[in-house]
Amino acid sequence: MLKTVVTDFRIIFERDPAARNWLEVLLCYPGFQALVFHRLAHSLHRLGLPLVPRLISHIARWLTGVEIHPGAQIGMGVFIDHGMGVVIGETAVIGDYCLIYQGVTLGGTGKGDGKRHPSLGEHVVVGAGAKVLGNLEIGSYVRIGAGSVVLRDVPSHCTVVGVPGRIVRRRDEPTDPLDHGRLPDSEAQAIRALMDRLEALEQELAELKAARTPQPVAAGRFADAELPRLAQCRLDSRAIEEFLDGSGI
């Protein structure tokens, strides 16, 4: 257990540029403190000791804001950044060198006695506020975007975003675990694809109308009835462009 705690301690300096010195990490990093409490509680839990492991977990929750059930299995080199609001269930499994941000829930579904919480592979990054629910298998080197809700298994080397979580990128290239802010916007991409299709259909329809009827007005001029529709189209186009640029998100 001592080797694991030392690895947990060292990984903080690799992944958090705000870590200044060893004393600051020991006294001011609730994620590390919660893991130390959990290592002790998990050891006692494996020995079958009643009540005490849960009591240690409860004290750790009160002190750090991180709730980890003593039964959860957590590998070495795991970093819980900030930590407030993190909940890790009883049958959850977290592989080595995972990075978990604040507000993450590794929760269960159902009331069965078996495995009901997710299992994370190695080097998984779970963004702030993400929820992974149920007995899921999350592969190694997976990135889960902030605020995502994952309800299905995720293969290794994938990026998941959205509610419910969707796989938006599959690749085997190594990624920076701290570069979790550069995620594709799948909703904007889908809307752009629909808009491109709509514009193509409108152009095709205009060409068909032009082939069947003569032009009612001179070139460069529009009939009065067309002006309100054109103004509305401009407003819609501007709103779409603002959405695609990230306005209001």
Rounded to the nearest 5 degrees, what angle is found at the Cα of 42, between the Cα atoms of 37 and 48?
135
Rounded to the nearest 5 degrees, what angle is found at the Cα of 66, between the Cα atoms of 93 and 166?
55
Here the contacts of 87-90 (C-beta below 8 Å, separation 24 or greater) are 88/117, 89/116, 89/117, 90/116, 90/117
Give the chain's domains with CATH numbers. Answer: 2-170 (2.160.10.10), 186-244 (no CATH)
pTM: 0.73
In contact, 147 and 85? CB cutoff 8 Å: no
Compute how many other C-beta atoms are within 10 angstroms of the C-beta atom of residue 153.
13
Per-residue pLDDT of 28-74, as tens digits, reads 999 999 999 999 999 999 999 999 999 999 999 999 999 999 999 99
Strand order in the sheet with 67-68: 67-68, 87-88, 105-107, 131-133, 149-150
Residue 19: per-residue pLDDT: 86
Per-residue pLDDT of 153-205, as tens digits, reads 999 998 898 888 888 777 665 555 555 556 666 666 667 777 777 888 888 88
